[in-house]
Structure 1
Amino acid sequence: MGLTKPNQELRRELKSLGLGLEQAASEVLNLTRGCQGEEVIAALKLITKLYENADRLATLADEVKAGQISRTAELRR
């Protein structure tokens, strides 16, 4: 059975947010090219957190697809 429209929208939103986090992590990585020492360590910690959050959003999107998480029409923005 396919996803309901609210669940399709939720899945798309989660995937979009995850992609945005991955792009932000990539941009932060590019900004660290000229940095050294503690600046790089701080940036790498931030990048790691961004990728962890992106992975979590991807997992939630998969759970929506599997029907484990759903959105009702009343909860949509």
Structure 2
Amino acid sequence: MTLTRPNQQLRRDLKDAAALLKWSGVDLFGVAKRLLAAGDDISADELMMIALSYQTMEDKLAGYADEVKAARIIRAAEQKT
């Protein structure tokens, strides 16, 4: 099934947001590792929890993008940006 232009854009936006969360989480995890090495356990733990929450949301957004592709989620009208 071919996606309409608005649904293609929605899918692309969801995938972009998921990728941004993924790489932000990777960066946060790297900072947390450096904090752990410096002995700042509390800040490192907080950053790791944030990074893990990013991963959870990334998975949800990727799932939504798959649902758009399968036409289970449809943008009703093109949104003006």
Give TM-score scaled by structure 1 length.
0.90
Aligned residues: 77
Q: Which moved more, 1:36-45 or 1:15-24?
A: 36-45
Equivalent of residue 60 in structure 1, options 41, 50, 64: 64
Give TM-score scaled by structure 2 length.
0.86
Secondary structure at the aligned position of 1:71 is classed as coil
- The answer for the alignment partner of 1:45 in structure 2 is 49
CA contact (8 A) 1:17 1:54 kept: yes
Aligned mates of 2:16, 2:34 — CA distance in 1: 30
- The answer for the alignment partner of 1:23 in structure 2 is 23
CA contact (8 A) 1:6 1:76 kept: no
- The answer for the alignment partner of 1:4 in structure 2 is 4
Unaligned residue ranges in structure 1 (runs of 5+): none
Cα displacement (A) at 1:75: 3.2
Cα displacement (A) at 1:25: 0.4
Percent identical residues: 32
- The answer for the alignment partner of 1:69 in structure 2 is 73
Alignment RMSD: 1.3
